[in-house]
Amino acid sequence: MNVRAGKIEATVDPAAVPQRRLYTGALMPAIGLGTFGSDHLTADEVAEAVRGAAAAGYRHFDCASVYGNEKQVGSALQDIAAIGIKREELWVTSKLWNDKHGEGDVIASCEQSLSDLGLDYLDLYLVHWPFPNFHPPGCDVSFRGSGAEAYTHEHYMRTWRKMEELVDRGLVRHIGTSNMTIPKLKLVLRDARIRPAVNEMELHPHFQQPELFEFVRAQGIEPVGYSPLGSPGRPERDRTPEDTSPIEDPVIGAIARRIGVHPAAVCIKWAAQRGQTPIPFSTNPRHYISNLRAVVEDSLTDEDMRAIAAIDRNCRLIKGQVFLWKDGQSWEDLWDVNGEITPP
């Protein structure tokens, strides 16, 4: 699909895609295209998917500086503008990477993303992970950065103050969090001048995070669900023998067969109907079009929704081991599983 060729009739009418209303009153399309190439797809392949997806009717794109492709995605966004899709019709998210949490780095990093994406504002800017720890591309899970630090609320709030300044300066319309936990969010909500509009979190039928999901919604924060299909193409470092796959679950398979769709479409329908915003990644036009169709065609029944609620396995796939800060820790330490922020 080549959007440079001229105006293309959308496969799905963007006006038919459900929207989420954020606490500011702004509307965000209730499905977005992910853009993380999982370390094995090139930046140009991802950018081509952005072009094709926009032509098919997507208006929401989930980007990040660490995905290493914002320049190429920016070139796709220019092509999208050239076929008559206006900036105000798009929802573009980017994220602050872990090596840019310093007070002197946040604004410069956002400006770099804006310049790479060819935009003068972002709809949403997220703190990608709460930890100021980063890793080189392609490293394995045992990697620990030399300056790796524990999470502290004070450090996070220093970063958050600069995120708030981005809103004040008009560079971003909303700010949000990602990979947070309830105890961390409670403190941010206590101290923030500008509240997070979105929390991006792993969400799929085998990892439903009901407590965090309900918590953020009760706070007026929109849950955006990453890896909505269970990230079948995720990097090797994010795989463990205990992992399960929601698109191979027999309950999902049975619903898919009954309604005549791929199991991926059932996962997307479940996500959108439950009230989160899924951001599936795909470079395959057949796949990303079917994912988009899933949110506008044939709802799941209440019985289907109940059956899927019952297959939660609390199976976190993106465990984040490389963000740990000292030897001898386990990945659960990142997720405050005892209900308290893990001490340094």
Ligand X SMILES: NC(=O)c1ccc[n+]([C@@H]2O[C@H](COP(=O)([O-])OP(=O)(O)OC[C@H]3O[C@@H](n4cnc5c(N)ncnc54)[C@H](OP(=O)(O)O)[C@@H]3O)[C@@H](O)[C@H]2O)c1
Nearest one of 315, 313, 127 to 238, comparing CA atoms:
315
Contact between 318 and ligand X per CB under 6 A: yes
Its sign, for the CA torsion 260, 266, 268, 274, is positive
Query: Could you confirm whether 23 is annotated as catalytic?
Result: no
Contact between 253 and ligand X per CB under 6 A: no
Tell me the closest approach of the beta carbon of residue 215 to ligand X, in angstroms.
Answer: 18
Contact between 279 and ligand X per CB under 6 A: yes
Tell me the closest approach of the beta carbon of residue 196 to ligand X, in angstroms.
Answer: 13
Count the residues of the shown chain that bind ligand X, applying the rule CB under 6 A: 29
Task: Choose one: 19-27, 103-111, 284-292, 333-341; the region binding ligand X (CB under 6 A).
Answer: 284-292
Token pair 């440079």 is at which residue?
4
Q: By beta-carbon distance, which residue lies closest to ligand X? A: 34
**Residue 72: which region, alpha, beta or left (left: phi > 0; alpha: psi -120 to 50)?**
alpha
174: burial class by Cβ within 10 Å (0-12, 13-18, 19+)? buried
- In the set 23, 58, 67, 226, the catalytic residue is 67
Count CB neighbours of 138 within 10 A: 11
Contact between 280 and ligand X per CB under 6 A: yes
Contact between 200 and ligand X per CB under 6 A: yes
For 95, phi then psi, to 5°, come to -140, 145
Strand pairing category for 124-127 and 277-278: unpaired
Q: Tell which one of 203, 229, 252, 322 touches ligand X (CB under 6 A).
A: 229
Q: Tell which one of 3, 12, 31, 36 touches ligand X (CB under 6 A).
A: 36
Tell me the closest approach of the beta carbon of residue 279 to ligand X, in angstroms.
Answer: 5
Contact between 227 and ligand X per CB under 6 A: yes
**Nearest residue (CB) to ligand X, 133 versus 282:** 282
Q: Write out the binding residues for ligand X, residues 46-75 only, by CB under 6 A.
A: 62
Token pair 């067969």 is at which residue?
257
- 3-class SS at 2? coil
Q: How far apart are CA 159 and CA 198, in angstroms?
A: 17
Contact between 132 and ligand X per CB under 6 A: no
Q: Please state the length of the chain.
A: 344
Residue 329 is encoded by which pair of tokens?
């820790």
Contact between 226 and ligand X per CB under 6 A: yes
User: Which residues form the interface with ligand X (CB under 6 A)?
Assistant: 34-36, 62, 128, 178-179, 200, 226-234, 262, 264, 279-284, 287, 290-291, 318
